[in-house]
């Protein structure tokens, strides 16, 4: 009879599901690392929240463990690499807190619009300052949403239900998804300039760090109210405090912080017109019940020989004949989404040559996984990638052709929206993956690590200027691959580099005469 260890408190509904399956369920919370190591070998599954650290030492002692279930989203407390090496599935519950997080964002919006925290504090001090707390109505106002993913989409729905005009920026969501949410897609600056309320729901990446800072606050009207409930670091906290203090915006609300808990001298804590909450987005009874039920169901599925739909390290299911192409397909998906700048409606995957004779469905799934990973906070795997692609309103098509002139096999991935982007790759010697085409330019680039893709005018001196500028910022070039349409036309450089290329460096590159664009991609 399977044994399940629950080492952090979870809702009783989750425990009931495990008990109903006939398992031995032991609830042992606040275990030390040594205590956990001593007993983990007895168990077939463990369910944790954020308190238990399932590190490499714990994993190595887990001789019978089949699944580590995280009742929640974040898995920073779990060594996924160690678990994968030992064949242990790691699963989480990413959907359970969606409604809770969206509702909290709306609660913060109303707190700002009606001065609820300030009025509450004033009245409890014995004051009756009714005329000092005149608010604004949400109906008819423009709600600017940055990020129309899982939570941002729910915020958009609620804004629309309140009679707000939802205008959104998300370069990776399709027009069809925006239409379903009754949201108008617009460019980044246009959202800033039109919004009466701004709600931020983007992942924290190199490009989104301090995405809203001094320059962005200057573009907003002085009656804008900002809600930040996504990831700490996306909004510049010092800039937001200054903008409120100097009347550049009317107010702000923060549920997340770059450092949690925030330092006592964090300027946001000093401003009366800034509402702050201690990361309460997922803190509802319903959310805790949902994540407990979800993760219990994943544990039962795995222990009964099935699949954990929310597994973070789910293996690919591919025949030996196509297994070498899985990594290439995933990389092509990662590449094509990072070189585009507009909202993707369709992904087309074309297989040519010998690969077209195989069952390529796992490769198409790998493309979708690669496409989604750079743009989502939620973990993506080979189980959930097709559904997550569908949820974003992106249509996936697959085609085959037996003919290819230059390669034994070729995989081409195209994205369509207002424009088209195209990348292609092959295996040399059937083991060496190589990117051979980027937006119509022939290249021969390894699909690993960090890369910088530069579009430039084909004229003398361009390579030297790019190399010099990267050198000035201590960015080493590991390899360079060039392609061009014709002499004097437009050319492309694909530079493999040792480190990330920061946004400010890319902006300096595009300021060089003759350079059309410079895009960093992580492969």
Query: What pLDDT sits at residue 315?
Result: 62
Question: Hey, what long-range contacts does 357-360 have (CB within 8 A, 24 or more apart)?
Answer: 357/402, 358/319, 358/321, 358/322, 359/319, 359/322, 360/322, 360/398, 360/400
Record the tokens describing residue 500, joined without a space.
């990330």
Q: Between residues 430 and 87, which one has the greater pLDDT?
A: 87
Q: In terms of C-beta density within 10 A (0-12 exposed, 13-18 middle, 19 or more buried), how is residue 418 classed?
A: exposed
Query: What pLDDT sits at residue 522?
Result: 86
Sign of CA dihedral 432, 438, 441, 446: negative
pLDDT at residue 518 greater than cutoff 90: no
Quickly list H helices, 453-501. Answer: 462-472
How many C-beta atoms surround the C-beta of residue 179 within 10 A? 12
Q: Between residues 417 and 493, which one has the greater pLDDT?
A: 493
pLDDT at residue 488 greater than cutoff 80: no
pLDDT at residue 220 greater than cutoff 90: yes
Query: HEC profile for 201-250?
Result: CCCCCCCCCCCECHHHHHHCCCCCEEEECCCCCCECHHHHHHHHHCCCCC
Give catalytic status of residue 57 as yes or no: no
Pairing assessment for the beta strands 450-457 and 490-497 based on DSSP bridges: antiparallel
How many C-beta atoms surround the C-beta of residue 406 within 10 A? 10
pLDDT digits (tens, 9 = 90+) for 1-21: 899 999 999 999 999 999 999
Among 114, 245, 279, 414, the active-site one is 279
Give catalytic status of residue 414 as yes or no: no
Distance, C-alpha 117 to centroid of its chain: 32
Q: With contact defined as beta carbons under 8 Å apart, do 419 and 411 qualify?
A: no
pLDDT at residue 495 greater than cutoff 90: no
Percent of the chain with pLDDT over 70: 98
Among 125, 260, 285, 405, the active-site one is 260
Can you spell out the DSSP letters for 307-361? --TTBSSPPP---TTTHHHHHHHHHHHHHHHHH--S---EEEEEEEEGGGGS--H
Q: How confident is the model at residue 316 (pLDDT cuts 50, 70, 90)?
A: low
pLDDT digits (tens, 9 = 90+) for 140-180: 999 999 999 889 999 999 999 999 999 999 988 888 889 99
Bond prior to 159 in cis (omega within 30° of 0): no
The verdict on pTM exceeding 0.95 is: no
Sequence-separated (6 or more) residues with CB below 8 Å from residue 246: none
Among 201, 225, 228, 231, the active-site one is 231
Among 18-32, 419-433, 470-484, name the most confident range.
18-32
How many C-beta atoms surround the C-beta of residue 503 within 10 A? 15
Phi/psi region, residue 199 (left: phi>0; alpha: psi -120 to 50; beta: rest), is beta
Work out the average pLDDT over 387-415: 87
CA atoms within 13 A on the CB side of 492: 20
pLDDT at residue 62 greater than cutoff 90: yes
Query: What pLDDT sits at residue 339?
Result: 86
pLDDT at residue 74 greater than cutoff 80: no
Question: Distance between CA atoms of 188 and 158, rounded to whole angstroms?
Answer: 21
The domains of the chain, with CATH numbers, are 3-96+285-303 (3.40.50.720), 98-276 (3.40.50.720), 319-420 (3.30.1330.90), 448-523 (3.30.70.260)
Longest CA span, the chain: 83
Query: What pLDDT sits at residue 184?
Result: 96
Q: How confident is the model at residue 443 (pLDDT cuts 50, 70, 90)?
A: confident
Work out the average pLDDT over 171-191: 92
Work out the average pLDDT over 451-459: 88
Q: Could you tell me which of 399, 392, 427, 402 has the C-alpha nearest to residue 414?
A: 399
How does DSSP classify residue 149?
S
Query: What pLDDT sits at residue 430?
Result: 67
Which DSSP helix (H) or strand (E) runs through 45?
strand 45-48
Q: Could you tell me which of 92, 57, 98, 99 has the C-alpha nearest to residue 76?
A: 92
Give catalytic status of residue 150 as yes or no: no
Work out the average pLDDT over 261-283: 94
């Amino acid at each position: 009879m399977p044994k399940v260890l629950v080492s952090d408190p979870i809702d009783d509904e989750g425990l009931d599901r495990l008990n109903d399956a006939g398992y031995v369920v032991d609830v042992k919370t606040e275990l030390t690392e040594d205590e956990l190591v001593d007993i983990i070998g007895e168990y077939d599954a463990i369910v944790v929240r954020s308190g238990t650290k399932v590190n490499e030492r714990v994993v190595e002692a887990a001789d019978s463990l089949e699944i580590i279930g995280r009742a929640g989203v974040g898995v920073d407390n779990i060594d996924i690499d160690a678990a994968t090496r030992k064949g242990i599935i790691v699963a989480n519950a990413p959907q359970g807190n969606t409604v809770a997080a969206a509702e909290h964002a709306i609660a913060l919006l109303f707190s700002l619009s009606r001065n609820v925290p300030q009025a509450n504090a004033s009245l409890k001090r014995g004051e009756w300052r009714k005329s000092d707390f005149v608010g604004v109505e949400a109906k008819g106002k423009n709600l600017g949403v940055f990020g129309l993913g899982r939570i941002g989409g729910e915020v958009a729905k609620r804004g629309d239900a309140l009679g707000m005009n939802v205008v959104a920026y998300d370069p990776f969501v399709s027009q069809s998804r925006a239409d379903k949410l009754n949201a108008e897609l617009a460019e980044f600056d246009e959202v800033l300039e039109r919004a009466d309320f701004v709600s931020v729901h983007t992942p924290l990446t190199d490009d989104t760090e301090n995405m809203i800072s001094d320059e962005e606050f200057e573009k907003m009207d002085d009656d804008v109210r900002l809600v930040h409930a996504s990831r700490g670091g996306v909004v510049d906290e010092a800039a937001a405090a200054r903008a409120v203090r100097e009347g550049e915006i009317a107010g702000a609300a923060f549920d997340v912080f770059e450092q949690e808990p925030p330092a006592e001298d964090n300027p946001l804590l000093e401003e009366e017109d800034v509402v702050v909450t201690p990361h309460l987005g997922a803190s509802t009874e319903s959310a805790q019940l949902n994540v407990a039920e979800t993760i219990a169901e994943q544990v039962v599925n795995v222990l009964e020989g099935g699949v954990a739909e929310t597994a973070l390290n789910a293996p690919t299911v591919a025949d030996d004949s196509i297994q070498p192409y899985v990594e290439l397909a995933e990389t092509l998906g990662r590449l094509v989404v990072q070189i585009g700048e507009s909202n993707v409606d369709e992904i087309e995957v074309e297989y040519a040559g010998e690969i077209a004779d195989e069952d390529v469905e796992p490769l198409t799934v790998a493309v979708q996984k690669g496409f989604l990973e750079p743009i989502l906070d939620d973990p993506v795997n080979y189980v959930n990638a097709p559904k997550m692609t569908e949820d974003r309103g992106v249509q996936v098509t697959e085609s085959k052709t037996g003919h290819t002139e230059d390669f034994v096999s070729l995989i081409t991935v195209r994205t369509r929206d207002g424009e088209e982007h195209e990348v292609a790759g092959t295996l040399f010697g059937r083991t060496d993956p190589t990117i051979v085409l980027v937006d119509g330019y022939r290249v021969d680039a390894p699909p690993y690590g960090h890369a910088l893709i530069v579009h430039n005018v084909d004229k003398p001196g361009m390579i030297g200027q790019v190399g010099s500028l990267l050198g000035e910022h201590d960015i080493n070039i590991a390899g360079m691959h060039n392609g061009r349409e014709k002499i004097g036309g437009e050319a492309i450089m694909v530079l493999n580099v040792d480190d990330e290329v920061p946004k400010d460096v890319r902006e300096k590159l595009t300021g060089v005469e003759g350079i059309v664009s410079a895009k960093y991609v992580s492969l």
